[in-house]
Each structure stands twice: as structure tokens, then as C-alpha cells.
Structure 1
Amino acid sequence: INGPTLTFQKYLILIVIFLCINLLLIMTFFKKECFYTTPRYILFAVTLLSDNLLLFMSDILLIFTNFNITMHVCLCIIIVVLLFLYVVVTPVTLTAMTLERYVAICMPLQHAELCNTCRTIHYILIIHILSFVPCVVILSSFFASAPLSFYSQYRVCFGETVIFHSWQNHLRSAVFQFYFLIMCIIIAFSYVKIMKVARAASGENKNSTWKGLRTVALHAVQLLLCLIQLWCPFIEAAVLQIDFMSYNNVRFFNYVAFYLAPRCLSPLIYGLRDEKFFLALKHQNPRVIHILLVRCKNI
């Protein structure tokens, strides 16, 4: 087996492992009624489903790219739009989870009204609408640039398929960075407000508040990992101009380091930090997996 093929096989093994971990978390979510009736856990499940869908679709494209399998451009456009959508859905949902913690800690009397199950469904719809706005911008620039003959072609599908000019890359970057700037401001605002409440709290309230503060900090780290992903297309686009094989290798590395690992490890860590979720996860799995999870929790 040559080097690139062996490397690709290793990536596939990692992908399967990470997908299994995420599926395990999703199965645990649906096992307990308290999870799918609590807004915080519902939003957590949205991130899991979003990440799993993103991992699955990007995995398919990764395989197609590696073996130079072409598809009709129209199908490719649909897949790329879905990828762009769910790249944004996760960080927007993380921001919503941060706001939920802010309301729970800083506005406890309004929490039951603002964060009930029915409203959470509406929030999920709003999250997807907001996440689709960058897709509209990208699609608009694509339709304005693509010649009619392009729509009848068959090509190897990847994110840059809808990019014809450098200004489209800049536009995509500007939109994404604007979104992430807003999300960073919201998370920073929530962190400061919760910090003030934590300093003024006492007893059990203090412990609960500091735990909420650590949760917001974790969301900030997750958002930072999502922010790093913004640089990947620029690096890949630059390498693509030099050599396609190098582009494939860089793309594999970026995919594992900045897409795959964060979207699996972050939810896993988040799930293990939550006492209820951890107990449910422990109950659903064999003893060996339980020991592994305990060790991960103590890291």
C-alpha cells in the first residue's frame, strides 16, 4: 500500500470512530425523556446532529475527491450548500446555548418562559434561517459568475466548486467572519454577565453559577475551533494553485485537525462534563467503555 492510500485509510478509520462516538451521544440523548424535553439538551442534540451530517457529507466528498469520482454540478452545488449551512449551524447553536445559560443564571425568573420546549423548536428554526444567510450570499455570487455551460458539467466536488473568482472567496470570508464576530461578542457579553453573578452568589448558587461560567468558556473554545476552520479554505485554495496532490494532502489534514476532531471531541467533552448526561452515557455502555469515559472525564 502506498503512502497516500495508507494515509487515506487512516483518515477513514478516524472518521468512522468519530462518527460512532457522535452516534453514541445521539443515542444517549434519545434514551432519556429529560434530555429531549430540556432546551439545553435539545440544543446540544442539534449540534450533534449537525456535526454528524456535516461529517458524513464531507466524508463522502473526501472519498470522491480521493478517487477522482465526478458528479453532476447541480448535485454538487446542493451538497456544498448543505456543507456551508451546517458549518454555520453548529457555532450559531453554541451561541444559543450560551444565551440559554445566560438567561438561566442572570434571568432565572424568565428562564422557564423564554427557554421552554416549544420556544426551543422556534429557536432551532431561527438558527437554521440565520445559518442559511451566508449560503444565500455564496449562491448569489455563484449564480452571478457561473456560465450556463457549467451547469451541464460533471466535476469532482469540493467547496471551491462554487468559487470562480478571488472576490468570491473574500466575500465568503467576510460573511463568515462577520457572523463569528457577532457570536464572539455575544459569548463575551454572556461570560462577563455570568462572572458578575458568580462573584455575588453564595453557597449552592455560587457552585452552579461557576459551573455555568465554565460551560460558557467551553463554548468559547468550541467557537474558536470553528473560527480556525475559516482559514482552511484560503490555505487549500492557495495550495490548489500549486499542485492538486498537495491540495489533497493539505485538505485531508485540515479535515481531520480542524473539522473532524473538534466536532467530535468538543461534544464528547461537553457531554462528559454534564452529570446527567454522563450518568446516562455510562448506563448505556459496557464496562470497558465506561472506564474509558471516566478517564476522559478526569483529563
Structure 2
Amino acid sequence: MQGISLANITTGLSLAERIVSATLTTLICLILLFLNGIMLFTLRNKFMFRETSRYILLYNLLLGDTLQLLISQLLYCLTSFRITLTYPACGVLVLLGNLFSRISPLVLVAMSLERYVAVCHPLRHASIMTRGNTVRAMRGMWIVCFKIVLIQNLLILMFPFEQLDSLQMTQPCRYIALFLLPFSEIYHNTYSGLVFFFAGLAIISSYVGIVIAARSAATDKVSVRKAKSTLLLHLVQLSLSLLSVIYSNILTILSPLLNWVAFNQMQIFLFVCFFLLPRSLSSLVYGLRDQSLRIALLYLLFCRFKGPVKAVVS
């Protein structure tokens, strides 16, 4: 999953430095979890959001990102304090982390196709992007991702664990530590490459389709502009997801170029940029760009939460 992203991130640091880095990243994680939690609550609290396809897709994207945020920070803290797990416990964490990270590219593709249909086929949008169709599509994506990740973990079970003296791991829990057989890594890299290639192709194709549709005089220019911005955002999100996958390769390139202190600082910085911040990008952007969501969020923050406080004070 993270490769050496979490393997050597704090190996050369003192206890005080490790405590500071873990505290800093945890504080950032808690802030981002709060933002995502507010957004998730808002999407589930309003009937309109629960019945509209684009908000259903956004909810699933945020749910996967939020849970992945939790798993990433948990693994980071375990590594910071050099806490090792057993292979079964690590396998469960890795399975969940992979499941939540794998769902994001698929949901981004679905959201891009939804915008394409809304702009290029507005008369058919209501019949295609129904609540039932969206829920079934999302359920299918979660099931497919779970099966893919389950196969990855079943490949790990092919390793002869009975030959080990103990199931206790000797290194921090991370996905690369479970590459006990060469075929596991091949499977992981092949699947990741195919998913990101076809996801990128689908988003770019949707963008091109919208650009072509924009030439039509009957097309709503405002909707086209918003849809193009949204698809570019999805492409950025997909790129950030890809960077988190190849994070270990980036560190391998940087390691001979930096001294040990600078390298550790760079690892922490990239962990925040590639794993933490991208998981709240949807909350930040949609919370600001989407008028309906923005109004609901402002009401939730300044009216609903503030009301009880005023009542208590009075």
C-alpha cells in the first residue's frame, strides 16, 4: 500500500522527534476528519442529497476517503512508535486500507460520467441517473473492490506461514511487507496500473465530450463551464491518488539526493500531501463550489450547532 512510505519514515528520529511528528500529523488528520465528518453528516441529513445521484456519488467518495484517512494515520502512528503487529492483524488493516483507496478512482469515473450525461444528454439525465441506478452502481463498485482486495490477501495466504517461528512481524505493517510472494506484487502493480489508466481515460474522454458539446448553441454555457471545472478537479484527485500509490518509488528516487534529516522531513511532508490532504479535497472543494451544499453546511455550522449553545447560555 504505502511501500516504504511508512517503513523508514521515523527510523532515524529520536523519541521526541517521533512524538512531535506523530502529534502534528494526527492534529492535521483530526481537522480533516472533522471537515469530512461535517460533510458526510450534511449529505445524510438532507433528503435532497440522499435522493440525488451526484450527491450519492459524492457521499461514497467522501466515505472511502475518510476511512482511508483513518487507516493511513493509524499505520503512520504505529510506525512512528515502532509497534509491530501480527501478520493476520496487519492483513486486516491492509485489506481495509486497500478497499477504501481502491473505491476512489471508480467513484471519480462515475462522477465524471454523471457530469457528461448531465451536459451532453440533459433530457436523458433524469432517467439514467436515478437514485436506484446510482445505488446499484455504487453497491457493485464496493463489491468489485472488495473481491479484488480479497484476492490480493488470499495470495498472501499462499505463503507457508507454518515455516515461520512466529506470526509476529519484525517490521512495521504496510502493504509491501505482505509481498511475501513475487506474484502478490505483480498482481498489485498490474491492477493499479490498469485502474488508473482506464480511470484517467474515462475522465479525459468525458471532458473532451463536454468540450465538443459546448460548441452547440443549445448547450447551457454555465453548466458546461462548471462541468469542465469539475472534471479537471476529478483528474487532479485521480493524480493525487496515483501519487500515493507510487509514493515509495518517489522516496526511492529522493533517498540518495538528500541527507538523512532532510529525507525524513521530506517523507513526513509528502505523507501529509499525498495521503492526508487529498482525502479532504472533495470536502473543501465541493463545500465551497456547490451552492446547495454550501448553504446546508453554513446552516449546520452556524444555526444548528450554535442554537443549543445560545439556549444554554441564556
Larger Rg: 2
Structure 2 residue aligned with 1:26, among 14, 25, 40? 40
Query: Residues 4-153 of structure 1 correspond to what in structure 2 (within 5 A)?
Result: 4-132=18-146, 134-149=148-163, 153=167
Identity of aligned residues (%): 30
Aligned to 1:234: 249
Superposition RMSD in Å: 3.0
Specify the code of the residue in structure 2 equivalent to 1:174: T
Residues in 1 aligned to 2:197 and 2:183: alpha-carbon distance in whole angstroms: 20
Specify the code of the residue in structure 1 equivalent to 2:99: L
Residue by residue over 1:134-190, the C-alpha shift from the partner in whole angstroms, topping out at 9 and shown as x without a partner, is 424532442334533459512342222311256643442221011100001111111
Residue by residue over 1:9-46, the C-alpha shift from the partner in whole angstroms, topping out at 9 and shown as x without a partner, is 11111111111111111122122111111010011011
Q: Secondary structure at the match of 2:246?
A: helix
Residue by residue over 1:51-73, the C-alpha shift from the partner in whole angstroms, topping out at 9 and shown as x without a partner, is 11111122222222222223331
Q: Secondary structure at the match of 2:85?
A: strand
Stretch deviating more after TM superposition (37-46 or 100-109): 100-109
TM-score w.r.t. the length of structure 1 is 0.85
Stretch deviating more after TM superposition (104-113 or 257-266): 104-113
Distance 1:201 1:228, change over 3 A: farther
Count of residue pairs the alignment pairs up:
286
Distance 1:2 1:259, change over 3 A: same
Please say if residues 105 and 195 of structure 2, whose CA atoms lie closer than 8 Å, have aligned partners that are also in contact. no
Instruction: Kindly indicate whether structure 1 or structure 2 has the higher relative contact order, using CA contacts under 8 Å at least 6 residues apart.
Output: 2
Please say if residues 99 and 145 of structure 2, whose CA atoms lie closer than 8 Å, have aligned partners that are also in contact. yes
1:219 paired to 2:234: yes
Structure 2 segments unaligned to the other structure (5+ residues): 1-14, 306-314
Please say if residues 74 and 151 of structure 1, whose CA atoms lie closer than 8 Å, have aligned partners that are also in contact. no
Structure 1 segments unaligned to the other structure (5+ residues): 290-299
Residues in 2 aligned to 1:186 and 1:128: alpha-carbon distance in whole angstroms: 19
1:161 paired to 2:188: no
Specify the code of the residue in structure 2 equivalent to 1:7: S
Residues in 1 aligned to 2:161 and 2:197: alpha-carbon distance in whole angstroms: 34
Residues in 2 aligned to 1:22 and 1:45: alpha-carbon distance in whole angstroms: 10
Distance 1:108 1:153, change over 3 A: same
Residues in 2 aligned to 1:237 and 1:85: alpha-carbon distance in whole angstroms: 25
Distance 1:5 1:213, change over 3 A: same
- For residue 283 of structure 1, report the CA deviation from its aligned partner: 1.5
Residues in 1 aligned to 2:282 and 2:91: alpha-carbon distance in whole angstroms: 29
Residues in 2 aligned to 1:186 and 1:207: alpha-carbon distance in whole angstroms: 23
Please say if residues 73 and 151 of structure 1, whose CA atoms lie closer than 8 Å, have aligned partners that are also in contact. no
Residue by residue over 1:244-271, the C-alpha shift from the partner in whole angstroms, topping out at 9 and shown as x without a partner, is 9999766543331101111112431123
Please say if residues 103 and 110 of structure 1, whose CA atoms lie closer than 8 Å, have aligned partners that are also in contact. yes
More helix by percentage:
1
Aligned to 2:216: 200
